[in-house]
Structure 1
Amino acid sequence: MDTMTISDVAKLLHITEESARNRISAGQAMPPSFRVGRRRLFMREHVEQWLTARIGHPGALAGVGAAGASSGIPAAPQLGPVASTAADGAAQGAEHGAVPLLSAA
């Protein structure tokens, strides 16, 4: 019986443990889990099936062990910097009829 902790699953989903716990409490989409005492555990097989159903990558858990080894966790995509200035924002707001709250001096 290969299990994962909430920490393992949170790392795999690129969310914090707190977010994972909140999602479970709120009934939002999370892999099936069960409790053993105060610990919440996830069956590795069920997590992989859950991920496959949502993202279609059957090998998503390769290298992720129950102890939390993260060598198989894909890195989050890196986004480039957003080039935006206050003038850009004011121009966009003016296009939509917005009135600036502060004027540039």
Structure 2
Amino acid sequence: LKKGSGYHLDQLILGFLTLLGGLFGLPWMCAATVRTVAHVSALSEYSRTHAPGEKPQLLGVKEQRVTNFAVHLLIGLSIALGPVLQAIPVPALFGIFL
């Protein structure tokens, strides 16, 4: 994969946010929001012509920024929807996210 400068800028900003979070006692950000094995395998392209019983060859991985943008948009939207989210009981949230 050829990562553009935006990827490295994201990592730099994440490093600064982690440093500030540690200094002020805030939770750390996680850089692996969407960089999971399932996400990468969903974006992988494999060869369609291979012998029976043989593994298909990896042709490449599609690079896109839509998922990262959507995740961060939803995080920002959760701040705006604070009053709506306060109506959800905390035990229900713990049951969902544990």
Larger radius of gyration: 1
TM-score, normalization: structure 1? 0.21
**Greater relative contact order: 1 or 2 (C-alpha under 8 angstroms, separation 6 or more)?**
1
TM-score, normalization: structure 2? 0.22
